[in-house]
A = this chain, B = another copy of it.
């Protein structure tokens, strides 16, 4: 059993609540910053339904202000990427000289921001492959999958080992990413084409993409562009291992064909009228692709459309 660590979960929505709950179950001192559901969790605790085992935290340590959380060993930032503007102020009171931060959020470039604010050496990225929704206040539904790929922002193996140790007694499967940047781009190889097309084609599920020759073909072309842009960005960052184009395309389409009528989180936000994480998932990859002069016409048009569809939406 490793040392119990103190952990601040900033952004206790479905993802923060679920993974924070799993870390509490592993014996860590987890303190949740809770805004929307404070009264419900205070009264009835945090309930989680999960294929890996239901659980209830009857008296979780919950806080309305991160100043009351105070300095911790680890910050897990699970804000929606559209709330990135709030992150620095919310996290600052939790920082001690050796505090580490796991950015458990969607999209590209977020760790760069955190690194500028708090120092690159203490920043990690977490990529959750999961399907988790909020139910009634204080109730989280973990529906499927759940593994988290974790990388260190500077790809320091000793630091990465420390991050893996944090999860060792949890029910969560964690996977080491030797290159965080490559892991981020590989996730985008699915998210940009599939989530993007599911939204732009009218709020449809992934099976309808696979079943329509025009959408299927456009999705494959988008994936090609993302791989091209990702490899240009990886080279630009002096990474030696690039994305394996054919293997990634093959595995992404094969995996999607097993997912049935899957609703990507961006598509759920779209059909439910909430703000979508467009800049983190589409805008920043596009900006890098254009800066590196890669040819990304589909990504350019798609991002312009998604930005328009996202106008005026609130979290």
Q: Which residues of B contact A303 (CB under 8 A)?
A: 214
Q: Which residues of B contact A300 (CB under 8 A)?
A: 218, 221
B307–A202 contact, CB under 8 A?
A: no
Q: Which residues of B contact A208 (CB under 8 A)?
A: 308
Identify which of B218, B307, B308 contacts A301 (C-beta below 8 A): B218
Q: Which residues of B contact A298 (CB under 8 A)?
A: 297, 301
Q: Which residues of B contact A217 (CB under 8 A)?
A: 304
Alpha-carbon distance A214/B202, docked complex (angstroms): 20
- What residue in chain B is nearest A307 (Cβ atoms)? B214
Residues of A at under 8 Å CB distance from B?
Answer: 197, 200-202, 204, 208, 212, 214-215, 217-218, 221-222, 297-298, 300-305, 307-309
B202–A304 contact, CB under 8 A?
A: no
Copies of this subunit: 2
- What residue in chain B is nearest A283 (Cβ atoms)? B214
CB pairs A–B below 8 angstroms (19 shown): A200-B200, A200-B305, A201-B305, A201-B308, A202-B308, A204-B308, A208-B308, A212-B307, A214-B303, A215-B304, A215-B308, A218-B300, A218-B301, A221-B297, A221-B300, A222-B301, A297-B297, A297-B298, A297-B301
Identify which of B200, B221, B304, B309 contacts A218 (C-beta below 8 A): B304
- What residue in chain B is nearest A217 (Cβ atoms)? B304
Alpha-carbon distance A302/B300, docked complex (angstroms): 12
Q: Which residues of B contact A222 (CB under 8 A)?
A: 301
